[in-house]
Amino acid sequence: MYWTSLTQNRNDFKPIWATSLPQALNLIKEAVQGERNDELFYDEIIKLAPNSEQASIITSIRDDERGHNFMFRGMFKEITGQDITGISSEQYQRISSYEEGLEKALQGELVAVEKYRKIWFGLPVGIYRDTVYGIILDELKHASKYNYLLTLDRTTI
């Protein structure tokens, strides 16, 4: 009896981050259109890294992000038949220090997880949803790496 009542009410429940497919596609478009600023940011923080090990970690994150953009563009094209065009009108804000860059990057990864969760909920079950789940896991991995780099930076002061 308990199981029956759960399945009967299931259609009434909506998570707070529930998203429609059109909303998910718009979020994908927004995510990809900011890639120019992302490239400038990664180039800047890599140059500020205090050693090659830390620069290598950030470079690997940047390369993952390039892959994410490629996959988001591919999903958008397959679902809509259209390419994502245009770039963000948001002006790039330079960073003043390596630590500031790490903090900004960490926060950016966490914001991306929130956005990508909405995208995930708006996609149909299958390869696109599975791909976004993988991207979310990468973003969480990146946040952990930025935490590691911040810890290194703060313990060497």
Instruction: Please report the pLDDT score of residue 113 as a whole number.
Output: 96
Q: CA–CA separation, 37 vs 34, rounded Å? A: 6
Contacts of 18 (CB under 8 A, 6+ apart): 121
Q: Is the pLDDT of residue 144 over 90?
A: yes
Compute the distance between CA of residue 104 and CA of residue 6 in angstroms, rounded to an integer: 42
Q: In CATH, which of 1.20.1260.10, 3.30.365.10, 3.50.50.60, 1.10.260.40 is domain 21-82+94-155?
A: 1.20.1260.10
Share of the chain above pLDDT 90, in %: 75
Higher pLDDT: 67 or 10? It is 67
The domain segmentation of the chain, as residue ranges, is 21-82+94-155
Residue 3 predicted with pLDDT over 60 = no
Closest CA to 24 of 76, 74, 66: 76
pLDDT at residue 61, rounded to an integer? 96
The mean pLDDT of 51-60, rounded to a whole number, is: 97
Q: How far apart are CA 122 and CA 15, in angstroms?
A: 11
> Taking the CA of residue 138 as centre, how many other CA atoms within 13 Å lie in the half-sphere pointing to its CB?
18
Average pLDDT, the chain: 91
pLDDT at 114: 96
For residue 59, the model assigns a pLDDT of 97
Q: Is 2 a residue whose pLDDT tops 60? A: no
Residue 51 has pLDDT above 70, yes or no: yes
Given CA atoms 123, 73, 70, 98 in this order, what sign does their dihedral have?
A: negative
pLDDT band at 84 (very low <50, low <70, confident <90, very high): very high
Residue 151 has pLDDT above 80, yes or no: yes
Helix axes 98-122, 127-155, angle to 10 degrees: 160
